[in-house]
Chains A and B, each alone.
Chain A
Amino acid sequence: MKKILLDAREMEHPIPLQLSLSYLQSMGSGEFLYMIHRKNPIPLIEIAKEKKYSYLVKNHNDTWHILISKESGIDLEDLVDV
């Protein structure tokens, strides 16, 4: 799986959402978005839910790790870095 890394910890709202939606719209199979954020990006997760994408959200030391893939049935736990 090819990782598209988006470190949004120092980005002003809503740049992380803009970039992640742009990646998700153009993302192909065999790719996944790996976003690191200082907040839990609820709107992005809701979009992933509505589109029936696979997603994983983990909070580690007050930093959020969000993984999203268009492929269903993928185990994102194996791909998270924490």
Chain B
Amino acid sequence: MVETTQQRVEQRQPEPLGDWRRYFSFCVDHKVIGIQYLVTTFFFYLLGGALAMVIRAELMTPGAELERSLYNGVFTIHATIMIFLWIIPTLAGFGNFLVPLMIGARDMAFPRLNALSFWMIPPGGLLLLSSFFVQSGAAGAGWTSYPPLSTQQVQVGDLLVTNFGQVIWIASVVFLGTSSILAALNFIVTIVAMRTEGMELFRMPLFCWATLTASCITLLGTPVLAGAVILLAFDLLLGTVFFNPTGGGDPVVYQHMFWFYSHPAVYIMVLPAMGIISEVLPVFSRKPIFGYKAIAISSMGIAVLGFLVWAHHMFTSGTPDWLRMFFMVTSFLIAVPTGIKVFSWLGTIWGGKLELSSAMLFAMGFVSMFVVGGLSGIMLASVPVDIHVHDTYFVVAHLHYVLFGGSVFAIYAGLYYWFPKMTGRLLNETWGKIHFALTFIGFNLCFLPMHQLGLQGMPRRVAEYAEQFQSLNVLVSIGGFLLGISTLPFLFNAIYSWLWGPKAPANPWRALTLEWTTASPPPVENFEYLPVVTAGPYEYGTVGSSPEGDTPTAISQPKS
């Protein structure tokens, strides 16, 4: 590595505009791939959001407007898109763009594999959407696809047909899962083996720690999900009885295999989001992060514990008492490393010189909304409460507080924060704040009343409900539509600023991590000279520098 730092790579600035075609090609530049991920997944986010609008329109009235099987397809595909085509891959998009820049590498370890992982996503997504057009309709058993519901034949007219929508769902999930496994192994190798000189593990930005941890979970968990849905496909297509109780099989085995992946997957969806927060908060508080090592290690703690809690999704599936007790206690334990993070973030903001930029607003929104979702999570982890609210809107409220109030707020924070680095243009801050206000109000109006609906016993995944729930549902729907509208200012802001926004300097936020030491957007080889790191990433306002005058502590000149 020492030699390479001295080797000056020819400056090859990307052409200013004529290069847009790269984004539609099998380009192996991690920065192009990162942006490909982010734009593609945002497109799927809009589609998933449109499906959510359909759901909320249906639930304005207690009666059913849509055909029931179509409604089932809509909420199933809504969840599948949001999880497998939006949150998981969009965080991989941030990782792709940022990890090599943050650790001072010129690219990911396997650039071609990286391009392959991305190019599996559009076909996987289109495959999933195509299921709306098959005779049986889209998969309608929810994103969990529990048998025997998911393996039943579907009534079409007078005929009973095989549920091909479900088969397509399985194929698509396996396809997208493979993509995320390949991306994960690329991240692990890159972070383990490609850090620049002086970039010790405990000097890495916390986003890299989070990506490393989430990648380990992906690598170990996703294959088990693949195993479960492949067995499901055998039951559907070839008449085996793995999950069919009438033939001696056991549907609960599917639930175990499914949640063995899908609970840790919650951390795949939130750990990198927490990593984004750990980058944004110190920059806009002009203070070092509080408890760097504690945050880094608590991610690992969450990952390990995360593999030991899965059956808390199955308290009502005939799980024996002693096992429920075990999973209740392990689930409570998750609150410890999570709490460490939350208090560290509060410690970071505390007494800081806060700059309320759009990124910072979304980051603070994340912390507060995530705490609400975390608290309802503790309620759901306790067996007596869970038995009452299982499969009600309380669960829907909880998961949206952690996945939208958590992950999506963090994704927005990350987009506002790194947009100048990615595009070389600044976003409009006023529109950013309008976007934040609309999102925050819409989000809480939409998901807060769901807690009440759930506690009153309204079941999830139904198109028709008792009339007593209507007023709250109308409120939820208004919030939902507001949330839908809140996307528009961001969309226009992003498109306008990307084309015509003011040019961004290399380091508009005066941040200290390595990606800000290079140009915006970075040159093809990332750094003119590979930087040599001499200090940690968050030394704001320390070592003789005033909070206004922080400069990156990495040396990026050739050594004499």
A, B: real partners: no
Q: Which B residues contact A (CB, under 8 angstroms)?
A: none
